[in-house]
Amino acid sequence: MKKSIKQINLEKAIKNRLKGKPLEVADYLFSNKEIQMLHEHANVVSIKRLGFNDHGPVHMRKAALNALIMFDLLAVSGVQFNLEREGIGTEEDSKIAVLLASLLHDLGMSISREKHEFMSVILAIPIIDKILDKFYHLKLEKKIALKTLIIEGIFGHMATQPIHSLEAGLVLVGDGCDMEKGRARISTLISNKPRVGDIHKYSSTSIQKVNILAGEKKPVKILVEMSQSVGFFQVEEVLFPKIAFSPVKKYIELYAGVKDQDLKKYL
């Protein structure tokens, strides 16, 4: 299936943040037909069968880009990630774990919404094994550490299961930050009939931009710009709980507000 312009641009933006082995891994992921088809089918189930929003190739790449932006802001601030702090790996290894978990986290949406984080793990494990065998074939200890860290990032992205690494925490928050109006557009075009849960659709439509910037007192500042106050629902019911649940919380400032009005500070 042909990639969309938005997907291609996101892949370029992701690769622009990478070099060395992480860039090689990204190239492998973006050229892998099985992963692409799983991403596409996740949207078939999410949008066409269930009437939900985007959980496919664009969303997973946007979540990955968000996580990588925060990763770089933490790294520049001197924050050590778990693999390095624990003497198991390097900052580069942690970036690969964040990249892989982010790009595989919603594979389970190709099966069902309920417990999809666990379905994602089941579908991702053979892919993770193949990639780690290719890029870490002589480093068994590091392969095991990376595999378990990637799985933690995948099963923890819904904030339903406790997570304990910064790497997994970035996947969780990166996923939560993808709530701009474009993500609700597909399901809105398919059906405008009211149904239970539509507050998510219309509140997300009011989210104009989620900016991830260098913070003033902390390494990361997340600034949510919205056109209407209904967008606060999206911040308070989706994004803030994910940040609050994440080990990365202590490094994040969170602000949200309607254009030309005072910002509300959450963190």
pLDDT tens digits for range 113-139 = 889 999 999 999 999 999 999 999 878
Same-domain status, 114 and 236? no
Looking at 122, 155, 176, the residue that finishes a domain is 176
Query: Which range, of 12-21, 43-52, 146-155, 255-264, averages the lowest pLDDT?
Result: 43-52
Looking at 176, 203, 218, the residue that finishes a domain is 176
In this structure, are residues 146 and 132 in contact, taking their beta carbons and an 8 Å threshold?
A: yes
Query: Does 198 have pLDDT greater than 70?
Result: no
The CA angle 189-46-231, to the nearest 5 degrees, is 60
Looking at 121, 152, 176, the residue that finishes a domain is 176
Is 165 exposed, middle or buried (CB count within 10 Å of its CB: 0-12, 13-18, 19+)?
buried
Same-domain status, 121 and 187? no
Q: What's the token pair of residue 74?
A: 């933490």
Q: Give the amino acid at 196.
A: V
Q: How confident is the model over 75-109, as pLDDT tens digits?
A: 999 999 999 999 999 999 999 999 999 999 999 88
Same-domain status, 29 and 144? yes
pLDDT of residue 138: 75
Query: Does 188 have pLDDT greater than 50?
Result: no
In this structure, are residues 212 and 69 in contact, taking their beta carbons and an 8 Å threshold?
A: yes
Count up the domains in the chain and report the number.
Answer: 2
pLDDT of residue 260: 86
Same-domain status, 102 and 218? no
Residues in Cβ contact with 138 at an 8 Å cutoff, skipping those fewer than 6 apart? none
DSSP conformation class of 59: H
Residues in Cβ contact with 248 at an 8 Å cutoff, skipping those fewer than 6 apart? 70, 74, 166, 169, 170, 172, 173, 220
Residue 35 maps to which CATH number? 1.10.3210
Query: Does 186 have pLDDT greater than 70?
Result: no
**Range of the structural domain that residue 257 is part of:** 181-265
In this structure, are residues 135 and 97 in contact, taking their beta carbons and an 8 Å threshold?
A: no
Same-domain status, 10 and 106? yes
Query: Does 214 have pLDDT greater than 90?
Result: yes
Same-domain status, 69 and 84? yes
pLDDT of residue 190: 46
Q: Give the amino acid at 37.
A: M
Same-domain status, 202 and 172? no
For range 132-159, the mean pLDDT: 94
Same-domain status, 228 and 114? no
pLDDT of residue 197: 52
From its phi and psi, is residue 159 left (phi > 0), alpha (psi between -120 and 50) or beta? left
Same-domain status, 48 and 144? yes
DSSP conformation class of 51: -
Task: Report how far residue 81's alpha carbon sits from residue 78's, in angstroms, rounded to the nearest whole number.
Answer: 10
pLDDT of residue 112: 83
Task: Report how far residue 183's alpha carbon sits from residue 169's, in angstroms, rounded to the nearest whole number.
Answer: 22
Same-domain status, 48 and 112? yes
In this structure, are residues 83 and 97 in contact, taking their beta carbons and an 8 Å threshold?
A: yes
Is 78 exposed, middle or buried (CB count within 10 Å of its CB: 0-12, 13-18, 19+)?
exposed
Same-domain status, 29 and 159? yes
Same-domain status, 89 and 117? yes
Q: What's the token pair of residue 50?
A: 């269930």
